[in-house]
Amino acid sequence: MGLNIQNATKTFQTRGGPVTALDRINLSIRDGELVCLIGPSGCGKSTLLNMLAGLEFPSQGQALSDGQEITGADPSRVLIFQEAALFPWLTVQDNVEFGLTMRGAPQAERAATARRLLEMVHLEQFSQAWVHELSGGMRQRVALARALAVAPAVLLLDEPFAALDALTRDRLHTELQDIWQQTGTTIVFVTHNVREAVVLGDRVIVMSARPGRIVAEHRIDLTRPRQIENVETTRLAQRILADLQLEPSTGQRG
C-alpha cells in the first residue's frame, strides 16, 4: 500500500497559542518499502506517523493511502507504540488472536494464524503464558504478531524498541527485517537512533527540529540482514548525523 503526504502542515492550538509541529511535508512511501523517520525530540515524527494512521489530520495539505485521502483509522494500517499495550487478562495466544476474534474468524483459523506468527517471532513455546511473565522484548514480539494477525498492508512503528536493552534490540532488528522480507508489509519506523535507522531502513528520512521539515533523505543499499555494529552501518550513520538539526526543541509533541 503506497502512502503519500502532500504539502502537509500541522498546527496545534495550545494555551500559549498555536504551535506548528510539521511544516510543508512532502513524502512518498512505496508499497512494500521500509522507511525510517529520524529527528530530534519534538520534530513531529510521531505526529506524522499519527497522520498516516488516521489519528491526526493535517491543518493544510493531505495524507493519502493508495491515492485516497486518509479520513480516519483503518485496519489496513496498524500503529504500534513504544509500550506493547497487550491485554494482561489474555494469554499470549489470545492476544495474538484478538483482532481475528473481533472480526469473527473461526477458532481454527485464529489458532493456526497465531501459531504461525508466534513461530515467526520465536515465541511458540510461550503461547499460554501471561503478559506479566514476559520480558519487554518478548512483549514487543507479541505486539508485532498481534498486528500481523490481521494482515495489515502497513505497519507504523513509533520507537517500539527504545526502552529495550541493547542485546534485545539487536535481536529484534534481525527479526523485524526477517518479518518484513517474509510478509512484504509496508513499514514506517520512527526512531531517535541513527544506527537503528540505517540497520532497518530502505530509506532514512531526516527531519529538522520543530517545526518539522524534511531536510535530507538517504537511500540505504547495504546487504541484509544488517547488524548495528558493522563498519558500513557506522559510516552511514555518521553521514546521517551530519544532516540532523540538533537545535533544542521547545515542544512536547514529537
Mean pLDDT of 137-145: 92
Greater confidence, 250 or 22? 22
**pLDDT over threshold 50, residue 249:** no
Handedness of CA 31, 229, 146, 41 (dihedral sign): negative
Residue 231: partners with Cβ closer than 8 Å, 6 or more residues away: none
Which segments of 67-157 does DSSP mark as H helices, in order?
92-102, 107-120, 136-149
Matching residue, cell 492550538 = 13
What pLDDT score was predicted for residue 228? Answer: 87
pLDDT tens-digit map of 104-132: 999 999 999 999 999 999 999 999 999 99
What does DSSP assign to residue 159? S
What pLDDT score was predicted for residue 251? Answer: 39
Matching residue, cell 518484513 = 180
Average pLDDT, rounded, for the chain: 90
3-state secondary structure of 53: helix
Mean pLDDT of 244-253: 47
First-last CA distance in the chain: 25
CA distance 86 to 246: 34
Residue extents of the structural domains in the chain: 1-76+153-221+233-247, 86-151
pLDDT-derived band at 254, boundaries 50, 70, 90:
low
pLDDT tens-digit map of 58-106: 999 999 999 999 999 998 999 998 777 899 999 999 999 999 999 999 9
What pLDDT score was predicted for residue 203? Answer: 97
What pLDDT score was predicted for residue 194? Answer: 93
What pLDDT score was predicted for residue 253? Answer: 43
**Has domain 1-76+153-221+233-247 been given CATH number 3.10.20.600?**
no
What pLDDT score was predicted for residue 225? Answer: 84
Burial class of residue 108 in the structure, from the number of CB atoms within 10 Å of its CB (0-12 exposed, 13-18 middle, 19+ buried):
exposed
- Other C-beta atoms closer than 10 Å to the C-beta of 229 total 10
Task: Please give the angle made by the CA atoms of 91, 158 and 212, to the nearest 5 degrees.
Answer: 165
